[in-house]
């Protein structure tokens, strides 16, 4: 379902880009053909109105597909929590079989006597 909406969304985006580029700007850069008699298919004013209306319709469809995509993303996503990815440490592991950096250093050092028997050095 989301793939269909994405394809429609991209087609609307491309159509909107084309319609905006066809509109006559202040400088007339990429606008539709300039002056000339009013005997053509559409007059300059009629073409401008049609392009403005088309741009507004495409913009409304763009916003609509954007909202639909955000709703679909919300319902398609499975809830994840970063705390679910952390391995749970049991009480037995925390007393002597830990794999933390301090535990590894104490094991490499041959279990140096710290004085209190808790693994914390005392002065």
The pLDDT of residue 105 is: 81
pTM: 0.51
The pLDDT of residue 9 is: 95
Query: How deeply is 90 buried, as exposed, middle or buried, from its count of CB atoms within 10 A (0-12, 13-18, 19+)?
Result: exposed
Token output for 93:
């592991």
DSSP-derived letter for residue 84 is G
Window from 1-15, 23-37, 79-93, 103-117 with minimum mean pLDDT:
23-37
The pLDDT of residue 92 is: 55
DSSP-derived letter for residue 87 is P
CB within 8 Å of 54: residues ≥ 6 apart: 19
Token output for 54:
């088309």
φ, ψ dihedrals at 106, nearest 5°: -65, -35
pLDDT per position as a tens digit, 2-13:
899 999 999 999
Sign of CA dihedral 18, 44, 52, 28: positive
pLDDT per position as a tens digit, 42-97:
566 667 788 889 999 999 999 999 999 999 988 877 777 777 777 766 655 555 55
């Amino acid at each position: 379902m989301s793939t269909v909406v994405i394809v429609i969304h991209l087609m609307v985006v491309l159509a909107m880009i084309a319609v905006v580029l066809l509109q006559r700007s202040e400088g007339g850069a990429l606008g539709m053909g300039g002056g000339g008699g009013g005997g053509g298919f559409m007059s300059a004013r009629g073409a401008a109105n049609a392009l403005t209306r088309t741009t507004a319709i495409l913009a409304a469809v763009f916003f609509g597909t954007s909202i639909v995509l955000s709703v679909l993303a919300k319902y398609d996503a499975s809830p994840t929590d970063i705390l679910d990815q952390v391995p749970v440490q049991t009480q037995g592991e925390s007393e002597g079989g830990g794999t933390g950096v301090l535990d590894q250093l104490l094991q490499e050092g041959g279990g140096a006597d710290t004085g209190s028997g808790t693994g914390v050095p005392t002065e």
